[in-house]
Structures are given as structure tokens and as C-alpha cells.
Amino acid sequence: MQKQIQNTIEKVSNSFPSLFSREDVIKLLTDLNAEMQEESPKPNIDKDTLLTTFRQMLSERDWEDVVDKDDIELSLSYNNQIEIESVPIDEDFLVRSAVDTLEALLDVLEEKED
């Protein structure tokens, strides 16, 4: 919107003569209004709703595959207790899940706009 207004100001500044009739001003404003109507409005997204929905969608994901259970390293401590030494996490799975969830959320938001 700001760009269209700036373009209209430049048209007025660069035009000759410097005096404008009422019809010239009405035409200029009508053209500006038409340009602004053609521009698609930016979606107004409530940040709290977006974050709440994103969290909810992530919490509904199946996180079984994020840990490779076959590669967990265990050890036996002095008190005969089993201790976990390392648990490999599939970081790519986490990133893919977050991106997939975000894409699904954006699809839902786009559907609401239509």
C-alpha cells in the first residue's frame, strides 16, 4: 500500500502542469484506490493462536522414531544400577517433523482465509 501511495506522489511531482483540476485529482485518487484494491491483503495472524496450534500439532506427532533404541548404551554402576550412557537422537527426524507440522499449519491457515 505504501508503495502505491509513493508512486502516486511521484506521478504528481513529475507531471506538468503543476495545477490540477478537480477531475485530475479524482482520477488520480480513483486509480490509486483501484491499485490498492488489486493488492491482496496480508493475512492477519494471531501469534498466540499460531503458537498454540503449532504446539498442539507437534504434541500429536508420533515421536517413537526420534530415538534409535538399538543404539542406546547402558552401563552397570557400582551399586548394581543400570545407567544410561548415551541415547542417540535423530535430529533430522525432529527437523522434518517441525517443518511438516509448520507446513500443515500454514495449509490450515490458508484454508481459513479462503
Burial class (CB in 10 A: 0-12, 13-18, 19+), 28: middle
Hunting for cell 502542469 — which residue is that?
17
One pLDDT digit (tens) per residue for the chain, 114 residues = 567 677 777 777 777 666 677 777 788 788 878 877 777 666 677 778 788 888 888 888 888 888 888 888 899 988 889 998 888 888 888 888 888 888 888 887 777 765
pLDDT value at residue 100: 87
d(CA 49, CA 76): 47
Strand partners, 83: 75
Kindly report the three-state secondary structure assignment for every residue of 67-107: ECHHHCEEEECCCCCEEEEECCECHHHHHHHHHHHHHHHHH
